[in-house]
Amino acid sequence: MSDFLEQAAAELNNRVEGADIDGTAKFAVTDVGAIMLDSNGARVGDEEADVTLNADADTFRSIFEGELNPTSAFMTGKLSVDGDMGLAMKLAAALA
Protein backbone atom coordinates (compact mmCIF):
# COMPACT_ATOMS: atom_id res chain seq x y z
CA MET A 1 0.00 0.00 0.00
CA SER A 2 1.29 3.42 -0.91
CA ASP A 3 2.44 5.80 1.80
CA PHE A 4 1.12 8.57 -0.43
CA LEU A 5 -2.40 7.11 -0.30
CA GLU A 6 -2.32 6.73 3.50
CA GLN A 7 -1.07 10.30 3.95
CA ALA A 8 -3.57 11.67 1.43
CA ALA A 9 -6.46 9.85 3.15
CA ALA A 10 -5.42 11.35 6.50
CA GLU A 11 -5.16 14.84 5.00
CA LEU A 12 -8.50 14.39 3.25
CA ASN A 13 -10.12 13.46 6.57
CA ASN A 14 -8.75 16.68 8.07
CA ARG A 15 -9.92 18.80 5.14
CA VAL A 16 -13.51 17.49 5.00
CA GLU A 17 -14.12 17.22 8.74
CA GLY A 18 -17.57 18.61 9.43
CA ALA A 19 -18.49 18.74 5.72
CA ASP A 20 -21.81 17.20 4.70
CA ILE A 21 -20.66 14.42 2.37
CA ASP A 22 -23.83 12.83 1.03
CA GLY A 23 -22.62 10.04 -1.23
CA THR A 24 -19.45 8.20 -2.07
CA ALA A 25 -16.43 9.65 -3.85
CA LYS A 26 -13.35 7.98 -5.25
CA PHE A 27 -10.06 9.80 -5.73
CA ALA A 28 -8.33 7.68 -8.40
CA VAL A 29 -4.61 8.42 -8.38
CA THR A 30 -2.95 7.45 -11.66
CA ASP A 31 -0.55 4.49 -11.26
CA VAL A 32 -0.88 4.57 -7.45
CA GLY A 33 -4.36 3.48 -6.34
CA ALA A 34 -7.50 5.07 -4.96
CA ILE A 35 -8.98 6.70 -1.88
CA MET A 36 -12.64 6.32 -1.00
CA LEU A 37 -14.57 9.05 0.81
CA ASP A 38 -18.04 8.79 2.31
CA SER A 39 -19.88 9.88 5.46
CA ASN A 40 -17.50 7.69 7.52
CA GLY A 41 -14.42 9.51 6.24
CA ALA A 42 -11.57 8.74 3.85
CA ARG A 43 -9.77 5.42 3.50
CA VAL A 44 -7.58 3.66 0.98
CA GLY A 45 -9.77 1.50 -1.27
CA ASP A 46 -11.11 1.05 -4.76
CA GLU A 47 -14.88 0.58 -4.87
CA GLU A 48 -17.84 1.84 -6.86
CA ALA A 49 -18.61 5.51 -6.15
CA ASP A 50 -21.14 8.19 -7.01
CA VAL A 51 -18.33 10.36 -8.35
CA THR A 52 -14.76 9.57 -9.36
CA LEU A 53 -12.05 12.22 -9.48
CA ASN A 54 -9.06 11.20 -11.61
CA ALA A 55 -5.63 12.83 -11.50
CA ASP A 56 -1.96 12.05 -11.03
CA ALA A 57 -0.30 12.03 -7.62
CA ASP A 58 1.27 15.47 -8.05
CA THR A 59 -2.10 17.05 -8.81
CA PHE A 60 -3.80 15.45 -5.81
CA ARG A 61 -0.86 16.35 -3.58
CA SER A 62 -1.15 20.00 -4.69
CA ILE A 63 -4.90 19.98 -4.05
CA PHE A 64 -4.60 18.35 -0.61
CA GLU A 65 -1.79 20.74 0.39
CA GLY A 66 -3.88 23.75 -0.68
CA GLU A 67 -1.51 24.79 -3.46
CA LEU A 68 -3.99 24.04 -6.27
CA ASN A 69 -7.69 24.83 -6.32
CA PRO A 70 -9.74 21.76 -7.37
CA THR A 71 -11.85 23.85 -9.75
CA SER A 72 -8.73 25.21 -11.43
CA ALA A 73 -7.35 21.68 -11.73
CA PHE A 74 -10.59 20.61 -13.44
CA MET A 75 -10.70 23.61 -15.77
CA THR A 76 -7.09 23.05 -16.88
CA GLY A 77 -7.61 19.32 -17.50
CA LYS A 78 -5.38 18.15 -14.64
CA LEU A 79 -8.41 16.67 -12.86
CA SER A 80 -11.25 14.80 -14.52
CA VAL A 81 -14.62 14.01 -12.97
CA ASP A 82 -16.92 11.10 -13.77
CA GLY A 83 -20.35 10.90 -12.15
CA ASP A 84 -22.25 13.18 -9.78
CA MET A 85 -21.07 16.72 -10.53
CA GLY A 86 -23.05 18.11 -7.58
CA LEU A 87 -21.05 15.94 -5.17
CA ALA A 88 -17.84 16.87 -6.98
CA MET A 89 -18.65 20.56 -6.44
CA LYS A 90 -19.30 19.97 -2.71
CA LEU A 91 -15.92 18.23 -2.46
CA ALA A 92 -14.21 21.08 -4.31
CA ALA A 93 -15.68 23.57 -1.83
CA ALA A 94 -14.53 21.44 1.13
CA LEU A 95 -11.02 21.08 -0.30
CA ALA A 96 -10.55 24.71 -1.39
**CA nearest 63: which of 8, 1, 2?**
8
Residues 91 and 12: their CA atoms lie apart, in Å, by 10
| The overall pTM is greater than 0.85 | yes
Give per-residue pLDDT as tens, 5-56.
Answer: 999 899 888 888 877 788 999 999 999 999 999 988 999 999 999 999 999 9
User: Could you count the other beta carbons within 10 Å of the beta carbon of residue 65?
Assistant: 11
- In terms of C-beta density within 10 A (0-12 exposed, 13-18 middle, 19 or more buried), how is residue 36 classed? buried
Give per-residue pLDDT as tens, 55-78.
Answer: 999 999 898 888 999 999 999 999
Residues 27 and 49: their CA atoms lie apart, in Å, by 10
